[in-house]
Amino acid sequence: MKISSAFLLYLWTLFTGSAFSQPPEQQRFLRSAAWQLDSGFLVAGDGVLTSIGDRRIVLIGEFNHGSHEVFAVQDSLIRFLHEKLGFTHVLFEAGLGEVGVIHLSMHDRTEEQLTYGFFGGWRTTERQHLMGYLRDQQMPFGGYDVQRTGSVFTDHLSSRLDELDYFESLELRFLEIKGELARFQTIYDSVAPETIQLILDYRELKDTLPPEETLEIRTLENRITYLQYMLDFARTKDWNERWKQRDLAMAQNIRWWIDRIPEQEKVIILGHNFHIARYNAGEEVMGEFLANDYGSDMYSIGIFAAGGNYLDNSGTIKQMTPADSMARDLTSVIQQIRAETIFLAIPDQPVPGSDWLFNDIIINDTFIDLSGTNHLNLSESFDALILLQQVSPAHKPEN
């Protein structure tokens, strides 16, 4: 059901924290287009179902990797898409081989162990609950990141080879070289010989694997791809190209997964807003590469919040930036809505009151591009938005 009229009178009372109150046209637009969400998406169900329709691919973003409420709404949306629209596969912004190996043995793993294929920011209790749901529903899942995100694939392939220590030694070399390649100060000639040799060694190992071991072969190809574009970065120092190559590799990994899934089955893709966006004015991103292939068959949902705090990639608690008192920003728009969480499908064309979606708007506390931009044209990047009032740090499991 839509937000009730009585509730809307409350939603659009006097703004807080900004000098920019909502124009009447914006109020009317949100009144007709915004759907209030509850934890199970039941309140907004009709709006979400209508907006997504029969699309096969839904991308769900996050404005950082460490917010409890973002993880919770992603979890609810995934369950809703599975139970109401028949989505069956979930792909994560995590190592292709690492998450792939976890899936192969998911029924033998605890909820915590199901997160071992993720990078540190996603190894949370919220993700544990999601992974337990995927396991219990027997929903296939995988990773699409070209980066290595843990040791589970190393352990898996090492145990399958006759020389148990050989692949472990390759992976140790990979970790050492990876650290050098990531340093801007690294001189190309100082790392090129050992990097090229490691690429050759991975390629030689890949060629010894039987063709049916597709996950293992693809993961070794990912190691090679990563080393190649990072070695190129050591030579050119071109940050934009480095990020483009990662996003291109992730898009290629998603295509690889989708090509292996029956055509009638539907796919959910989780990742940072930066990666899942259809377009980015400053960078070439994964969502743009995918849009070229899948077009209107994919639906991208960006998630943002107005206040609170969250964990950054290092695990440090960060406070959200207050609303801008001198210019209209997304924080002000969300605060004036006042509902805790809403779903908003972005119109195909501007309508009265939607100008903030079709022009650059200030968005703080998220990564937009390498230039440090803090503004975005939301209509160019996403098909829909989920907007939250407050976030808090994701919950890390107690050791």
What is the token pair recorded at 130? 């999601």
C-alpha R_g of the chain: 22
In tens, the pLDDT along 57-101 reads 999 999 999 999 999 999 999 999 999 999 999 999 999 999 999
> Residue 188 belongs to what domain range?
152-238
- Going by pLDDT thresholds of 50, 70 and 90, the confidence category of residue 327 is confident
For residue 253, being part of any structural domain is answered with: no
Residue 323 has what DSSP assignment? P
What burial letters (b/e) apply to 345-359, b meaning 16+ CB within 10 Å?
Answer: bbeeeeeebbbbbbe
For residue 356, being part of any structural domain is answered with: yes
Are 200 and 316 contained in the same domain?
Answer: no
Out of 206, 238, 270, a domain closes at 238
Are 142 and 28 contained in the same domain?
Answer: yes
Q: Is the pLDDT of residue 248 over 60?
A: yes
Q: Is the pLDDT of residue 195 over 90?
A: yes
Are 194 and 279 contained in the same domain?
Answer: no
For residue 318, report the phi and psi dihedrals to the nearest 5 degrees.
-120, 140
Are 45 and 29 contained in the same domain?
Answer: yes
Out of 238, 272, 304, a domain closes at 238
pLDDT at 19: 46
In tens, the pLDDT along 158-168 reads 998 877 689 99
What percent of the chain is predicted at pLDDT more than 90? 82
**Helices 152-160 and 164-182: crossing angle, nearest 10°?**
150
- Going by pLDDT thresholds of 50, 70 and 90, the confidence category of residue 138 is very high
Strand 34-36 to strand 57-60: parallel, antiparallel, or no bridges (unpaired)? unpaired
In tens, the pLDDT along 277-324 reads 999 999 999 999 999 999 999 999 999 999 999 999 999 999 999 998
Q: Is the pLDDT of residue 8 over 70?
A: no
Are 132 and 166 contained in the same domain?
Answer: no
Q: Is the pLDDT of residue 5 over 60?
A: no
Are 272 and 141 contained in the same domain?
Answer: yes
For residue 273, being part of any structural domain is answered with: yes
Q: How far apart are CA 360 and CA 91, in angstroms?
A: 30
Q: How far apart are CA 231 and CA 226, in angstroms?
A: 8
For residue 330, being part of any structural domain is answered with: yes
**Helices 214-236 and 164-182: crossing angle, nearest 10°?**
30
- Going by pLDDT thresholds of 50, 70 and 90, the confidence category of residue 352 is very high
pLDDT at 44: 60
For residue 399, being part of any structural domain is answered with: no
Out of 238, 270, 294, a domain closes at 238
Are 381 and 280 contained in the same domain?
Answer: yes
pLDDT at 156: 96
Are 136 and 14 contained in the same domain?
Answer: yes
Q: Is the pLDDT of residue 172 over 90?
A: yes
Are 231 and 306 contained in the same domain?
Answer: no
- Going by pLDDT thresholds of 50, 70 and 90, the confidence category of residue 112 is very high
Contacts of 3 (CB under 8 A, 6+ apart): 11, 31, 34, 35, 36, 339, 342
What ranges in the chain are assigned the alpha helix state H? 5-11, 24-33, 45-52, 68-85, 96-104, 125-136, 152-160, 164-182, 188-208, 214-236, 239-259, 273-276, 286-294, 330-337, 355-358, 378-381
CATH number of the domain residue 77 falls in: 3.40.1660.10
For residue 398, being part of any structural domain is answered with: no
pLDDT at 162: 77
Are 136 and 157 contained in the same domain?
Answer: no
Residue 259 CB neighbours (<10 A):
8
Poorest-pLDDT segment among 24-38, 104-118, 123-137:
24-38
Q: How far apart are CA 41 and CA 28, in angstroms?
A: 23
Render 159-202 in DSSP notation, one character per residue.
Answer: HHSSSHHHHHHHHHHHHHHHHHHH-TT--HHHHHHHHHHHHHHH
For residue 136, being part of any structural domain is answered with: yes
Are 174 and 272 contained in the same domain?
Answer: no
Total of domains in the chain: 2
For residue 249, being part of any structural domain is answered with: no
Mean pLDDT score of the chain: 92
Residue holding tokens 């259809």?
278
Are 143 and 41 contained in the same domain?
Answer: yes
Contact 227, 203 (CB under 8 A): no
pLDDT at 39: 65
pLDDT at 374: 95
In tens, the pLDDT along 372-397 reads 999 999 999 999 999 999 999 999 99
